[in-house]
Amino acid sequence: MKLFNLFNLLLLIIITSCSDKYSECVIDGVEVTVANNEVSVFASVKTNTDIEQYNWEFSDGFSEASLNPWISHDIIQNGEGFVELQVDLVNGDICEHTTNFKVDSYITNSDTCDINIVGWNLNCSQLEVEINIDGNPYDVDVWWDFGDGSLLTNGNKHASYKYKKKGIYELEVGYSHANGCSDSTTRIVQIDSLAQIIN
C-alpha cells in the first residue's frame, strides 16, 4: 500500500512538473466600443507567463503590434467588421480571439472653415471681390492683401479696390474666428489698363 501511494506521489510530481512547462493563455473578454467611425478595443487576457506583444488585425486590412491590451482604429466605411487579436507569450505560445463589430454612423470629416471667392469683377483697374465663408459665421476678422502693398482689415466679405499701376498682383484674402477656424485663398490679378481718375 505504501508503495502504491509513493508511486502516485511520484506520478503527480511528474505530471505537475510537465504541466508547468506549458503556459495557459486565455482571452476571456474583448470589449469593443464604436463611436462614429472610431473602433476602440480592450482585451482581458489571463496567462501564467509574460506577454511579449499584442497583434491586432482589422477587417479593413489595418494591423498593428503593441505592448498594450487596447487599440483604437478609424474605419472609413459603414458595415460589418471584425478585429482579430493574437497574443504572443515570451515562451513562444500564443492565444487568439476574433470579435465582430458594426459601424453604421460613419461621418465624413469635412473642413468647415473654408473661405472661397464667389464674386469677381475687374474693370480696368477697379476690382470688386466678394467672398463666402463656410457656415457663414458672424464676428469674423477678414483681411485683404491686394498684392501691391495695400492691406485692408475692415472685416467685410466684400472689397472694392482700385489699382494705381499696371502689373500682375496676387490678391490674398483670409479670415479668423474665435471658434478656431481660419483660412485664406489667393487669386492672380492682371492690370493691363488703368481706370480714368475722376476728380
Could you tell me the pLDDT band of residue 198, with boundaries at 50, 70 and 90? very low
Which pLDDT belongs to residue 89?
92
Which pLDDT belongs to residue 2?
52
CA angle 69, 75, 76 (to 5 degrees): 160
Domains in the chain (CATH in brackets) are: 25-103 (2.60.40.10), 115-191 (2.60.40.10)
Q: Cα separation of 140 and 178, whole Å?
A: 8
CA distances from 81 to 74, 100, 133 (A): 12, 6, 38
162-182 tens-digit pLDDT: 999 999 999 999 999 887 889
Which pLDDT belongs to residue 177?
86
The count of residues in the chain is 199
Q: Is the pLDDT at 149 greater than 90, yes or no?
A: yes
Could you tell me where the DSSP H helices lie in the chain?
2-19
88-147 tens-digit pLDDT: 999 999 999 998 988 886 554 445 788 988 888 999 999 999 998 887 777 889 999 999
Q: Cα separation of 40 and 108, whole Å?
A: 18
